[in-house]
Structure 1
Amino acid sequence: MSQRSDLRRRRATLESEWSRWVPRMRTAGPKPSGFGALRHDVTESWERSLSSVDPARDSAPVADGGAVQQRWSGSPLRRPVDDLADELRSIAEDAGFVTAVTDESGTILWTCGGRTMRRRAERVNFAPGGRWDEPAMGTNALSLALRTGRPSSVFSAEHLVAALHGWVCYCAPVHGPDGDVLGVLDMSTTWDRSNPLAMSTVRSLVATIEARLRAEPPPLTPRSPKPVRLTCLGAEQAVREGVPLPLPPRQLEILTLLALDPDGFSPERLREALYGDRTVTASTFKAEISHLRRALDGGVTTRRYALTTPVSCDAAEVLRALEQGDAETALRLYRGPLLPRSAAPGIEAWRTHLEVAVRQAVLASTRPEHALRYGERAPYDTEVHEHALRLLDQRDTRRAIAVGRLATALRD
């Protein structure tokens, strides 16, 4: 109870100092000095930051999402952080923290923590893509650690931005084997959970990451990933360099979903697209992802699932042709329903979307061969057969085909 009271008094004192000095400093007034509640490195950072950061801003600016994903894929920190991911998540969730890893510029590349804290952090863009360098977000533990190359903590109203006054952050830079700063590891939580042991934890984790970086062999020259051809319309096959990949149906479903949505899936969204309301253990779901990742030589990103291996897909090509108004190409490629045996909700939704889109393109076309070609795959679609008859000349011998199909459809 005494610790909570001390924290509350400290926060009130800092809020008072912030309210007193920050407005003055914004108008080029004197910076604070001689006040025990304000650290020199904090006030120096305030002074630097105010030229580019509005203390009233509500969240960090965000870098381009695709670029962030690429930077994390190529970051030297990724492998050691992935190796420690379970431990980092356990610490963050048990202690009520959000843990983040940035690159050398202060852009967050990876986070973990309990759902409640992550949602709270996301409101200020303390999430992948958020920029937390000093020119972008002012005084905070990440920006100080990057600037000084030393561990740093920032409590409540020591943050320049008022939206962060409810937080306390503990941060330490991660140095590569050559001594360069590669990024920082940060653990943040609400001010009332401030605990000096958090800094010890951050230092220990950073020491482990740095030890793993020193132990890693020099990086090999990356090989270009081998492209995969995915056929999922009326068939189910993935081929690489002429050799079929031995993917079971569930992994073909995952590959198809990722190919049709290149922006990728959160784990929750992909799991719902695969299983819907069915109860499936997390280990079963992750095992399917892991097996597909191995089959693609690591070509699926972690955390947010997306393809890094080039995959050409007939269904995606049909959609692209329709977007360009090329019904001829779309019909040539559309050889049947999407993964016809699949009952995955996400696949069923795409299957319906493709069927409706191709059919509408046929009905909008003025070329009778389009209706005839589609009608061969849709023998009971009377509207398509009638459309073919309207487009065919009375002397066109192909009318017999459309008449026969229409008669069959009406009889059944």
Structure 2
Amino acid sequence: MNDEPLDMTRLSAMEPHHASHLLSGVHAAALSGESPPYRPRKVISESWRRVRRHGLDPDQGAHSGLLALDEVEHRRQSSPLGAVLPTLRDGLKAAADEAWHIMVITDAEGRVLWRDGNLAVQRKADHLGFSVGASWTEEVAGTNAIGTSLVARGPVQVHSAEHFVRVYHPLSCAAAPVRDPRDGRLLGIADISGPAAAIRPATLALVTAVARVAEGEMRERHRESIDRLRSLAAPVLARVGGRALAVDRNGWTAGVTGMLPVDRVPLPKAFGPGRVWLASLGMCAVEPLPDGWLVRVEEYGPGGREQGTEASRVVLDLRQPRQWTVSVSGGAGSWAQDLTPRHAELLYVLARHPEGRTAAQLAADLFGDATRTVTVRAELSRVRRTLSGVLDHRPYRFADGVRVELLEPAEPEDLLPHSSAPAVLAARSSPRVP
């Protein structure tokens, strides 16, 4: 076996038929358990292992069905990517048309929401199930740029027989994640796909650059919306006694009175007007504002917190390959929050170490470098704003009296598949302790 992987630069320098033939040999050997003529790229070999554990048919893949048109339209209207669709389309469509490719935008679940480009290629894509409303996760379509980018949380290019499913071997695709610039949350995937014969290594750089431009536009739109809300909320806050904040629909702060400013108030998934308990503030009275909320913090004297509102149970759910949540229950009810990849790693390590971890230990757990304590403390500061009263420090740990339940994937190798943290890598390769 040649130990050098067939990277995109080497493949594009070959005659297209020869490149596809070499990759087909690698694919066939990997599926039969033989030694391949070349080593597949790391991102490809890791994806193939995941897909094989799913039991996917390498000839046809799986079929989850298309979303109904009304569901597609609902997701389009709900997605922040809709606001920057012209930017994504302008940046990708010209390159797609020139190379006889198509541009595709998916949501965070890998469902195709928008598609454009060469009509002939779109018709061929329909025959492969690459239509609006289709799922292109690894569980359904095997190794592919969209699904693998969702798992890897980074740009991915997949060429010809690097696709796990054989019917997709005529394709070459390049994809990059588009994130919410405010908090890093994955919003969807931008992709260019087309005939494998038209492979271009620069396509991945183009898709990545367009995704970053779209993120920059979203950042500017958010700044403008906060400025508008601040202007509307200023006279309201001026009349409020005590502590209060004006926040947008996602909890980003536009103004405060009677307290130190914060960038964001973590809001539970189910949030609306009325009396609401917020982890970072305690019990609050919430009133609607145009495109936001007025949050009045209730006062309870020296303790600063209503009796019986302390958290008593935390459920850290890491079972899904692309979405992780933390749920908190206590005297004031329960609430749940989605987690970023880094915060999922942090809470996983703390759940595995109830005795606590120092900043240096966490730096080694996450980065393999015990000196990166500044980064760890900054991330933990953000997490503790969400989980006020749940996390303690010196050392960092879940607070005494809080019962922690950790829900992990059935297969250890499926634990936080995006992660390269040493603590997670060790857990994936270790037998699960009942």
TM-score, normalised by the number of residues in structure 1: 0.48
Q: Which has the higher strand share?
A: 2
* Larger-gyration structure (1/2): 1
Structure with the higher helix share, 1 or 2: 1
TM-score w.r.t. length of structure 2: 0.46
